[in-house]
Amino acid sequence: MDVPFHKMHGTLNDFVVFHDPHGRVRLSPEDVAGICHRRAGVGADGVIVVRPSPVADFFMDYVNADGSLAEMCGNGIRCLAKYVYDTGLTGKTTLPVETRAGLKTVELFAGADGAVERVRVNMGQPIFDPALIPVTIHSDGRPILDYPVDALGRTFHATILSMGNPHCVILVDGDIEDLPRKYGSTIESHELFPKKTNVEFIRIVDRNRIVMRVWERGSGETFACGTGACASAVAARLAGRVDEDCVVELLGGDLDIKWKDMIYPVVMTGTAVKVYEGILTI
């Protein structure tokens, strides 16, 4: 079967995106891993299949590069929004998208050429219930802050939460560039996390800027992670280190994150880019 696709990225977190309106395409984990392979395939951090939804305009069927299912992808949903608008699947500039982490509302902002350039996403409220993250820590529903996590002989202190998928956010005062490669895999599979976790190392620049490096569950070190940027902004705000509007600086670019306090959703704004079109033979 030949399937037209778009190669896309959001802050260099890249995806293969295609539409499957009739449910004809079924990808095995091996299929996804092959598509995402950087040398033998298209090369991507994951695959997004745009499918029909009974409760929203579209369903985002997102799969990590290793073939594992993911509940949510913040950079991916921005790419999906651009894809459906630019290909004429919708004319709406505000629309609901169903994900495995629930409904998300996206707002689309077009450039001078009429194509979508930026997307704002209501990411919902951060989740602190250990059973829903999930994490094997008892916290009475209170945020899990400054929790010791041991990895390769080093103890980190983490804020643990979910943005629809699990995150372990570690605030570091010094250099963070090499930390994902050195410790990410070990923390991802730590016994605290029954479904594994995404791992963010962050450094606070000032009250409006965070530098983040990430190890994504199922994908390894990536240039960006939208849900991770949201989790990092939440963790920094809970620590009293940033204001409600901040920029998260990633290897692939900046994301604007807004979070006021516990009763409010996290709102993420960032770019979405089409790289090229192609045909997959599946």
pTM over cut 0.85:
yes
Q: Is residue 151 part of a domain?
A: yes
Overall residue count recorded for the chain in this entry? 282
33 and 99 in one domain?
yes
Q: Is residue 139 part of a domain?
A: no
Q: Is residue 137 part of a domain?
A: no
d(Cα 247, Cα 26) in Å, to the nearest integer? 38
95 and 188 in one domain?
no
Average pLDDT, stretch 98-109? 98
98 and 168 in one domain?
no
6 and 43 in one domain?
yes
Nearest Cα to 162, choosing from 137, 190, 197, 186? Answer: 197
> Is the pLDDT reported for residue 233 higher than 80?
yes
Between strands 209-216 and 198-206, the pairing is antiparallel
Q: Above pLDDT 90, what percent of the chain?
A: 98
Average pLDDT, stretch 77-97? 98
Q: How many domains does the chain have?
A: 2
Q: Is residue 138 part of a domain?
A: no
Q: Predicted confidence band at 141 (pLDDT cuts at 50, 70, 90)?
A: confident
Q: Is residue 222 part of a domain?
A: yes
Structural domain boundaries enclosing 40: 2-124+270-281
SS3 of residue 234 by DSSP:
helix
d(Cα 23, Cα 4) in Å, to the nearest integer? 15
Residue 218, token pair as written in the block: 């199922």
For residue range 168-200, what is the model confidence (pLDDT) as tens digits?
999 999 999 999 999 999 999 999 999 999 999
Average pLDDT, stretch 74-81? 98
For residue range 112-133, what is the model confidence (pLDDT) as tens digits?
999 999 999 999 999 999 999 9
88 and 13 in one domain?
yes
Q: Please report the pLDDT score of residue 229 as a whole number.
A: 98
Residue 227, token pair as written in the block: 């849900």
161 and 230 in one domain?
yes
Q: Please report the pLDDT score of residue 191 as a whole number.
A: 98
Q: Predicted confidence band at 146 (pLDDT cuts at 50, 70, 90)?
A: very high
Nearest Cα to 116, choosing from 264, 8, 256? Answer: 8
Residue 85 sits in a domain whose CATH number is: 3.10.310.10
179 and 240 in one domain?
yes
> Is the pLDDT reported for residue 140 higher than 90?
no
46 and 99 in one domain?
yes
Contacts of 257 (CB under 8 A, 6+ apart): 229, 230, 232, 233, 245, 246, 247, 248, 266, 267, 268, 269
Q: Please report the pLDDT score of residue 210 as a whole number.
A: 98
23 and 109 in one domain?
yes
169 and 113 in one domain?
no
For residue range 15-40, what is the model confidence (pLDDT) as tens digits?
999 999 999 999 999 999 999 999 99
SS3 of residue 173 by DSSP:
coil
177 and 63 in one domain?
no
Would you say 160 and 195 are in contact if contact means Cβ atoms under 8 Å apart? no
274 and 252 in one domain?
no
d(Cα 40, Cα 38) in Å, to the nearest integer? 6
Render the burial of 166-178: b for 16+ CB within 10 Å, e for the rest. Answer: bbbbbbeeeebee
Q: Please report the pLDDT score of residue 215 as a whole number.
A: 98
Nearest Cα to 134, choosing from 58, 55, 193? Answer: 193
* Residue positions annotated with a catalytic role: 73, 225
How much is the mean pLDDT over the chain? 97
